Amino acid sequence: MADKKTILITGGAGFLGSHLCDRFIAEGYKVTAMDNLITGDLRNIEHLFRHADFEFYHHDVSKFVHVPGKIDYILHFASPASPIDYLKIPIQTLKVGSLGTHNLLGLARAKKARMLIASTSEVYGDPTVHPQTEEYYGNVNTVGPRGVYDEAKRFQEAITMAYHTYHGLETRIVRIFNTYGPRMRLNDGRVLPAFIGQALRGEDLTVFGDGSQTRSFCYVDDLVEGIHRLLLSDYSGPVNIGNPSEITIGEFAEEIIKLTGTKQKVIYQPLPKDDPKQRQPDITKARKLLNWEPKVGRAEGLRITYEYFKSLPRELLFARDHKDFGSYIK
Ligand SMILES: NC(=O)c1ccc[n+]([C@@H]2O[C@H](COP(=O)([O-])OP(=O)(O)OC[C@H]3O[C@@H](n4cnc5c(N)ncnc54)[C@H](O)[C@@H]3O)[C@@H](O)[C@H]2O)c1
């Protein structure tokens, strides 16, 4: 029998990383997850520890990375990803996008592995083009509060493309738009867990600004399918993966009120600096190159996600943020 394919997934204990671990175990790969648990949680992957083909390294990828044996693929998903996280740990965010990516590209080169990086719609900043195609260069405030994340990701794309061009490394770049599903952290500041958490605690739902800003939400299984197809494709340019179904944040709050049956109301607070006004992926490329498009509608995805949040222990519901970054801040 041919050797099993091996894959290293950084950020493997996080929201997206853990779903990717599940998918590649199900596909029959040997999966190595690597994570320093700064925003992730071992609970997301504890069900995988019984698999002979799964292993976990507790490691910070911004430091030198070594993994023995062969590696066929690397998925680099390690990075704080929510505004609350990267505003609290801005230096770590810049380091994992730059030093971490450099370390992993070096590893990929040594192992002759193909590397896919998790980029983001944030590379488009507060976009002046709508919807956003991969050809749009973006509108990012480098020194604004989101700059640490956006520029880390833009650098990550640039160095990945340089390794592809100058070293002939096989690379893939996915630009992920807002994705949701089970294993998001309730208090990570992203709008969907924030609304559901407020509804479950019996609090009013907080909308920042007048609620007219738009977002497009992709269910996690659709994203994982898109990433799987992109990894196995032969395309090295950036590809948007997201759900183009756009909704205003005001309408979205109403959907959550209906879903949860909460009696609370929507309250409004000032919009944070540099908050993007519109976000909607143009997925023509993914459709054409990968024959991919999202399949899970918002009603179904939200129902599954709500069931997950309802099943969490009550103390998590009332913890303001179960993450303590104290020991990581240098
Ligand atoms: N969820 C989304 O909607 C979304 C959108 C765009 C891009 N992304 C990207 O996808 C990736 C995963 O995001 P997520 O939503 O799962 O966030 P997450 O916070 O749940 O997962 C990130 C994981 O990376 C780990 N990590 C962070 N820094 C590390 C380091 N230096 N060394 C090792 N591990 C480290 C964290 O502990 C965590 O487990 C990120 O790169 C993010 O930028 C996510």
Tell me the pLDDT tens digit for each residue of 177-217. Answer: 999 999 999 888 899 999 999 999 999 999 999 999 999 99
Q: Is the CB of 39 under 6 A from ligand 1?
A: yes
Whether 133 has a pLDDT exceeding 60, the answer reads yes
* Between 277 and 311, residue with greater pLDDT: 311
Interval between CA 32 and ligand 1 midpoint (Å): 16
Cβ of 179 below 6 Å from ligand 1: yes
147 has pLDDT over 60: yes
Question: Is residue 326 scored above 80 in pLDDT?
Answer: no
Nearest-atom index, ligand 1, CA of 12: 39
Bridge partner list, 118: 174
Q: What was the pLDDT predicted at 222?
A: 98
Mean pLDDT for the stretch of residues 240-249: 96
Task: Please give the sequence-ordered ranges of beta strands (E in DSSP) within the chain, or none if there are none.
Answer: 6-10, 30-35, 54-58, 73-76, 114-120, 171-176, 179-180, 205-208, 214-216, 218-219, 238-241, 246-248, 266-269
Among all residues, which ones are annotated catalytic? Answer: 149
Strands 179-180 and 214-216, by their bridges, are unpaired
**Rounded average pLDDT over 226-237:** 98
Residue with the nearest Cα to atom 30 of ligand 1? 60
Helix, strand or coil, per DSSP, at residue 63: coil
Q: How far is the CA of 161 from the centre of ligand 1 (A)?
A: 20
- Share of residues in the chain with pLDDT > 90 (%): 88
Q: Could you tell me which residues are beta bridge partners of residue 207? A: 268
Residue 323: what pLDDT?
Answer: 62
pLDDT at 327: 54
> pTM value?
0.96
Q: Does the pLDDT of residue 330 top 50, yes or no?
A: no
Decide which of 187 and 226 is more confident.
Answer: 226
**pLDDT band, residue 39 (cuts 50/70/90):** very high
pLDDT at 50: 97
Q: What is the mean pLDDT of the chain?
A: 94
Whether the predicted pLDDT of 319 surpasses 90? no
User: How much is the pLDDT for 277?
Assistant: 84
Does ligand 1 come within 6 angstroms of the Cβ of 104?
no
Which residue, by CA, sits nearest to atom 9 of ligand 1?
Answer: 118
For the chain, percent of residues with pLDDT exceeding 70: 96
pLDDT band at 288 (very low <50, low <70, confident <90, very high): very high
Taking alpha carbons only, the member of 212, 281, 282 closest to residue 252 is 212
Q: pLDDT class for 67, splitting at 50, 70, 90? A: very high
The bridge status of strand 218-219 relative to strand 214-216 is unpaired
